[in-house]
Chain A
Amino acid sequence: MMSTAGTARIRFTTLWRREVNRFTKIKKQTIGAPLLETFLYISVFGAALGSRVGDLHGFDYVVFVIPGLIMMAFSINSFTNNASSILQQKFQGAIQDQLSSPASPLELLLAFSLGGFMRGLVISVLTFVAASLLVDLPVEHLLVLIPGICLVGFFFSQLGVLTGVRAEQFDDVSFMQTFVLQPLIFLGGVFYSASLLPEPFQTLTHFNPVYYMINLVRYGFLGYTEASIALSMLALFAATAAIFAVNLRLFSTGYKLRA
């Protein structure tokens, strides 16, 4: 007879494997397309426009942009994976197989979250490797970079779970991605330094939470930041914990999952 912890471990790893299995089976769409997109950004903004921009705070423009692109790849893919996976399973009814299992709300939430996190991680690592082959990309503060980018990935995977649970149609996921996330990410300073913006845009950027995430990751790579690292890390941790608590509540009550 297996221990309770043993069966819980099997349940959790199976739930998580299902999520990874899903995105690896459609890897042209889930891995290939985002990689191509990031490569195009590097080509256009780095190679084509970068030569006209010159240095930015002492870095080649392409080097300045790449940390933001890695963060963007991690966040968008973590979000999209989880939102789409949950909504698809709700449509198919396949999620009932997991919901009627003995898995706890925490096991279910963590497994769904880590599925998207893994996809974001795979694409980010591949982007980093590819970028490192093209340019000399430093890693100045690994102890900030690793927890910082992991928190960013986990935050967006939680946001994906929340969106997938609440969504009733694919339009709901597209809306969130196109009209909320992409503007926040693009206006958060992926492609530019907020300190170069004229007022009031510079001040407005400080109200964009993604601005602090980009700064964390950029500081981890380049050692350059425009915001307090400690404050950014603390705020990101608090935001991630808050959204995790909300999701756990939704999974415990069965909101839009159980009738």
Chain B
Amino acid sequence: MSNEFAPDGSVPLADDKALDIEDLAKRYPTGVEALRGVSLEVGSGEFFGLLGPNGAGKSTLIHCATGLAQPTGGSIRVFGHDAIDDYAEARQAVGLAPQEPNIDWFLTVEETLDFHGGYFGMPRRDRRERTAELLDTFSLTEKRTERTRTLSGGMKRRLILARAMMHRPRLLILDEPTAGVDVELRLELWHYVQRINQEGTTILLTTHYLEEAEQLCDRIAFIAGGQIVAEGSSEELAARFDVHSLEDAYLSLVGRKELSRSHIEMEPAS
């Protein structure tokens, strides 16, 4: 997988950072502090995993990067563009496949992609070609004239991913893309995102499937209580928590070591 970090480990230039987050804070009007000083760098071309329990702040961080939430402190830059001050350039570079299906019920499958391309300023001919290409890639061509609300859950998931890719973003954010999808679609998605990552698209993935993160991601960050608590490759994270796998490192993070499969396997049969 491509990674544009310098071989000597030097810090990449601003434009080589797909995401550059410094001391990011988000406090909701209800008083909930969803993010408490998050600092994180995702290099251009990286496949980066963000793991954490429910309510850890993953979706809030993603929403801050895409303009759906407004940070209350710190900064977030996308390929060198400030997500607040240069929001147009920053958002143009990002494609978001959200956790919850948020498709427009009034549109057909084809219109969903076409309108999304228009929202991102793509000319008509480019939209038409790109729509045909993505419908084919995600096996949606036969459904192209159907209203989105009639689609099955798996088809909706495909459409959300196709929509996120429509404007050819340099950074693709996948918020639990394989939650609730069948094995076939999950593997299809893995192959697809691996391919576009190899072609240069940076991927930020949140998932609860740890084997997914382990197999796909170059680097992983653990987030808990609105803070990044550990960061590195899956091997580095396992070593950091003094365990043998990413799953055990995660269980240590959430304080549930007793659930480790290594404990279960070592227990004698009664």
Whose C-beta in chain B lies nearest to the C-beta of A25?
B106
Contact B104 A97, beta carbon cutoff 8 Å: yes
Given A18-B115, A92-B103, A93-B102, A7 contacting B69 (CB threshold 8 A): no
Contact A92 B102, beta carbon cutoff 8 Å: yes
Q: How far is the CB of B105 from chain A (nearest CB, A)?
A: 6
Contact B91 A100, beta carbon cutoff 8 Å: yes
In the complex, which of the residues A22, A97, A99 has the most CB atoms of chain B within 10 Å of its own CB atom?
A97
In the complex, chain A residues whose CB is within 8 Å of the CB of B67? 99-100, 258
In the complex, chain B residues whose CB is within 8 Å of the CB of A11? 118-121
Given A18-B115, A93-B98, A101 contacting B120 (CB threshold 8 A): yes
In the complex, chain B residues whose CB is within 8 Å of the CB of A104? 88
B residues with a Cβ closer than 8 A to A are 28, 60, 63, 66-70, 87-89, 91-92, 94, 96, 98, 100-107, 111, 115-123, 163
In the complex, chain B residues whose CB is within 8 Å of the CB of A26? 106
Question: How many A-B contacts at CB < 8 Å in the complex?
Answer: 90
The 8 tightest CB contacts between A and B, nearest first, are A14-B118, A7-B121, A93-B102, A101-B119, A102-B88, A259-B69, A94-B104, A100-B66
Contact A93 B100, beta carbon cutoff 8 Å: yes
Whose C-beta in chain A lies nearest to the C-beta of B34?
A259
Given A94-B105, A102-B88, A259-B70, A10 contacting B98 (CB threshold 8 A): no
Can you list 27 contacts pairing A with B, beta carbon distance less than 8 Å?
A: A8-B121, A10-B122, A10-B123, A11-B118, A13-B118, A14-B117, A14-B118, A15-B119, A21-B111, A89-B104, A92-B103, A92-B104, A93-B98, A94-B103, A96-B98, A97-B119, A98-B119, A99-B67, A100-B67, A100-B94, A102-B92, A102-B119, A258-B67, A258-B68, A259-B28, A259-B63, A259-B68
Interface size class of A (residues with CB under 8 A): 20 to 34
Contact B119 A103, beta carbon cutoff 8 Å: yes
In the complex, chain A residues whose CB is within 8 Å of the CB of B118? 10-11, 13-15, 17
In the complex, chain A residues whose CB is within 8 Å of the CB of B98? 93, 96
Cβ proximity bits A243-259 to B, threshold 8 Å, 1 near / 0 not: 00000000000100011
